[in-house]
Chain A
Amino acid sequence: MQPRIIGCGNPDRGDDAAGVLVARRLRTLGIEAEEQSGESFSLMDAWQGCETVIVVDALCSDHAPGEVKTWDACANPLPKTALQCSTHAFGLYEAVELARTLDRLPDKLLIYGIEGKEFAPGTRPSIEVERAVELVAQQIAEFVQANDVERQGVS
């Protein structure tokens, strides 16, 4: 089964669009990927019962714009400060940590974070983030293909 891929963000708030843009790019490559605002409870519902889930979201920390971070969310707690770009009271960080407490995490949950620099309403994503979007989309596509080959090999 293909991993469930979720791109989070607001396409109208500059670099906050990073996750959504990755989902859109993956679809052009023929890989199923959905878009979400990043609201916790929808995310928890979306990954309920899934084996492998990949979530992509924008980061807002002190790293260089376009820098990509990855986390195995099932293995370790997420860093709170970097993953709180959302103006929603409950975002990706809360979704993962609440799900961990309530035993509602999928078997495997990979998080890709893309560092942004400009989050103002109505702005375009920065060039650094656009480049990172392509890089992350390619990495996820390779992951999906590798899993596919592995699975077919097994069957």
Chain B
Amino acid sequence: MTTAKTRTIKVDYLARVEGEGALYIKLKGDQVRDVKLKIFEPPRLFEAFLRGRHFSEVADITARICGICPIAYQMSAIHAVERALGVKIDPAVRKLRRLFYCGEWIESHALHVFMLHAPDFLGYPDAIQMARDHRAVVEQGLRLKKAGNHIVKVMGGREIHPVSAAVGGFYKTPTKSELRELGEELKWALDASVATAKLVAGFDFPDFEQDYVFVSLSHPDEYPFNEGRIVSSRGRDIDVSQYEEYFIEKHVQHSNALHSLLRDGGSYMVGPLARFNLNFDKLPEVAKQVARDCGLKVPCRNPFRSIIVRAVELVFACHEALQLIAEYEPPASPRVEALPRVATGQAATEAPRGLLYHRYGLDENGLIVSAKIVPPTSQNQKRIEDDLWHFVGQVATRPEDEITWKCEQAIRNYDPCISCATHFLKLHVERE
């Protein structure tokens, strides 16, 4: 009888993810003994320093949580405050918020699909090396990202940490001609997104599926952005205000980001794959057809195929943006007034990386007395570890550097944003 050797694989600093984290894997022979996704970026304490601030400051403070998805933070925060204060927004403002979100999805998905994830499938260490052989692909990605940035700039006043979103609406809304100017480039972006989906659908994908619990927003008439009920692939269907009854956060020693779990046990997945599987019927026909043409079926349980789903969501976001621009009528007033009262409000919106939950308690002067923010990467963290527990076994006989690369790829399926979750990645594999 031979004794299986224990090996440890460490990635001390994960590449092509946002923020600072590491990965530790312990193997005995080919059996996985431990997996830890270590998030060591320090806590940023946003929930604490929101306390004592006026609700009108919430959009500008939370926008600073993330340079890639500030709109998601603004939208979840604003909606939570509006729910607390009973604010009813103008329908035209609601449509503008959807357009704002389209911009963020386009820039964030284009960045991940082309610059962070595609090099994994095309066999390059990074987008710079990839650009030497696939210049047109990288150029297309940059142009798509810019199309998204332009929407954000027109809607938010600037591309990073936009400043126009406010409780009750916007500080300033765009003119029809300002939005019309976005149209030509978005028509190109829609065609480019269709081509992107077909390109990435041709990549080789590992044969890896898991029995995921998918969680996302669901709206009766729309692919979800800003509102809806929280639904799961296990039949859960709850109002956003019930989120904390069904989802819990747990501190684990190896991570500065809290792990989110289902209250009745186990991990779950938020993000593009969850949204797509739970809301396919709400996609416009053009996006549905692209998904079918790319061989995507509902439910898609292979996380590596999430790159195709992101491309399908690019198609959706470009199509939706064009439609919103074509129908745009400026609101009578950019925003409605919100009056302070003692109340608590919860909201969840769909950040590019998945469900983003906020809760605020307000006092009679409109000051924040409590705040809770649960980012998508925090919710996916346990699920990423669970994926690795199962995935590492498939590649455990390969050389160490290949195991490392495959594991990083498995993590990038989630487009984790560590800066938001606390906030990414060094790999450490230990073999006994």
Contacts and interface: CB of A to CB of B under 8 A. Distances in A.
Do A and B make up one complex? yes
B18 A88 contact: yes
Interface string A39-58: 10110110000000000000
B116 A87 contact: no
A155 B116 CA distance: 47
A94 B125 CA distance: 12
16 contacts: A39-B67, A41-B111, A41-B145, A44-B142, A45-B146, A87-B20, A87-B41, A87-B419, A87-B423, A88-B18, A89-B115, A90-B127, A98-B128, A101-B128, A101-B132, A102-B139
A16 interface: no
B116 A89 contact: yes
A25 B344 CA distance: 45
Contacts, number: 50
A89 B17 contact: yes
Contact of A94 (B67, B127, B142): B127
Interface string A9-50: 000000000000000000000000000010101101100000
Contacts of A87: 18-20, 41, 418-419, 423
Given A37-B160, A101-B135, A102-B139, A94 B18 contact: no
A66 B115 CA distance: 33
What is the interface residue range for chain B against chain A?
20 to 34
Interface string B18-49: 11100000000000000000000110100000
B42 A98 contact: no
A97 B423 CA distance: 27
B11 interface: no
A41 B146 CA distance: 9
Interface residues of A, number: 17
Nearest to A93: B128
Given A87-B419, A90-B115, A121 B44 contact: yes
Nearest to B44: A121
Nearest to B423: A87
Contacts of A98: 127-128, 131, 138
Contacts of A39: 67, 160
A102 B131 contact: yes
A41 B145 CA distance: 9
A20 to B, nearest CB: 15
Given A41-B146, A121-B44, 20 more contacts: A37-B160, A39-B67, A39-B160, A41-B142, A42-B159, A87-B20, A87-B418, A87-B419, A88-B18, A89-B15, A89-B17, A89-B18, A90-B127, A98-B127, A98-B131, A101-B135, A102-B135, A102-B138, A102-B139, A120-B42
Interface string B109-127: 0010001100000000011
B226 to A, nearest CB: 26
Given A42-B160, A101-B135, A94 B16 contact: no
A45 to B, nearest CB: 8
A134 B146 CA distance: 36
A101 B131 contact: yes
Contacts of B126: 94
